[in-house]
């Protein structure tokens, strides 16, 4: 069993080295698709692989499937630039490579680093996802924001070890992600015909706080969990208020259209 690591990125010079270093000795090739970075990302990646491709970003599903198409091997390990394999996960993958896999996809837990600590509650852990899969049997699916490898449960295995996710190093990082994802999510919901009332915007944000604190035990992550609770509510509010505004603007544009003359 040979594995191609497939990674997409844009201006990831601060993260990409650690990501690629964690793949050494585990994968048989690295495929990297860049969305025309303006920093040193590509130069760094070229130290690890010659398989570097460029593609204008449109959405995550298309970008990740494009990367998988460029792979030499059927088995694909997908990582984001801010992720890396833990020692235990490395060992699990190496053991799998020595066997004959009876599944078409394998998931593993993702452990996220938030500002100053790993988060083990707050709805962020175990956050298991299929990231190792046979590209002949399955592919990335979803919308502009939420991409997923859909594999039937009976064809899905689980490996021991965590995928370490170094997502947010500062509050500014979190706010930047909220801005980017909320815009894409609002546009995706609008395209599907989703609507929301102003009351619904606030109700959804309030429910996030209740869910995080009382059902996902965010307080067990200390002050980091409280910060996550607040900004999760902000993310939900921002996403839905943008959707609300999109419909208001569409209604205004429709009202401003000149009416046809009657006979």
Q: What would the pLDDT profile of 36-63 be if each residue is shown by its tens digit?
A: 999 999 999 999 999 999 999 998 999 9
Contacts for 143 with CB less than 8 Å, ≥ 6 apart = 59, 61, 188, 192
Topology (CATH) of 3-168:
Spore Coat Polysaccharide Biosynthesis Protein SpsA; Chain A (3.90.550)
User: What is the helix, strand, coil percentage profile of the chain, to 5?
Assistant: 45, 25, 35
* Helices and strands, number each (H, E), in the chain: 7, 11
Task: Please tell me the predicted confidence (pLDDT) of residue 146.
Answer: 79
DSSP state of 56: -
pLDDT tens digit string along 59-113? 899 999 999 999 999 999 999 999 999 999 999 999 999 998 999 999 999 999 9
What's the whole-number mean pLDDT along residues 14-34? 97
| Strand ranges (E), the chain | 3-9, 29-34, 52-54, 75-78, 83-85, 105-114, 117-119, 129-134, 140-142, 147-149, 156-168
CA distance 204 to 187: 18
> For residue 48, what are the contacts with CB-CB under 8 A and spacing of at least 6?
20, 30
- What integer pLDDT is reported at residue 40 of this predicted model? 97
Of 27, 41, 33, the C-alpha closest to 8 is 33
Average pLDDT (204-218) is: 98
Residue 188 in contact with residue 143, Cβ under 8 Å?
yes
Closest CA to 1 of 26, 21, 24: 26
Give residue-wise pLDDT tens across range 111-156. 999 999 999 999 999 999 999 999 999 999 987 677 999 899 999 9
Instruction: Determine the pLDDT at residue 263.
Output: 40
Q: Which residues contact 40 (CB under 8 A, 6 or more apart)?
A: 13
Partners of 118 in the β-ladder? 113
Least trusted range by pLDDT, from 143-152, 202-211, 230-239: 143-152
* Extents of the domains making up the chain: 3-168, 171-256
Residue 142 is predicted with a pLDDT of 87
Q: What is the pLDDT of residue 262?
A: 45
> What confidence tier does 260 reach under pLDDT thresholds 50, 70, 90?
low
How many CA within 13 A on the CB side of residue 239?
21
126 preceded by cis ω (within 30°)? yes
């Amino acid at each position: 069993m040979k594995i191609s690591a497939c990674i997409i990125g844009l201006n990831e010079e601060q993260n990409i080295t650690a990501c690629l270093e964690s793949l050494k000795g585990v994968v048989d090739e690295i495929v990297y698709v860049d969305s025309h970075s303006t920093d040193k990302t590509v130069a760094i990646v070229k130290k690890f692989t010659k398989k570097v491709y460029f593609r204008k970003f449109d959405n995550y599903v298309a970008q990740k499937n494009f990367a998988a198409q460029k792979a030499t091997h059927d088995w694909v390990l997908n990582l984001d630039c801010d992720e890396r394999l833990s020692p235990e996960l490395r060992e699990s993958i190496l053991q799998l490579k020595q066997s004959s896999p009876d599944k078409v996809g394998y998931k593993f837990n993702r452990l996220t680093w938030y500002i100053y600590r790993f988060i083990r509650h707050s709805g962020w852990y175990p956050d298991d996802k299929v990231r190792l899969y046979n590209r002949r049997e399955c592919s990335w699916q979803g919308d502009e924001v939420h991409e997923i490898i859909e594999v039937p449960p009976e064809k899905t295995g689980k490996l021991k070890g965590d995928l370490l996710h170094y997502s947010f190093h500062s509050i500014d990082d979190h706010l930047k992600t909220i801005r980017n994802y909320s815009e894409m999510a609002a546009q995706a919901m609008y395209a599907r015909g989703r609507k929301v009332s102003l009351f619904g915007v606030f109700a959804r944000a309030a429910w996030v706080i209740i869910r995080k604190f009382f059902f996902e035990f965010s307080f067990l992550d200390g002050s980091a969990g409280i910060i996550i609770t607040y900004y999760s509510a902000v993310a939900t509010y921002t996403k839905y208020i943008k959707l609300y505004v999109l419909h208001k603007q569409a209604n205004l544009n429709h009202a401003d259209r000149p009416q046809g003359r009657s006979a």
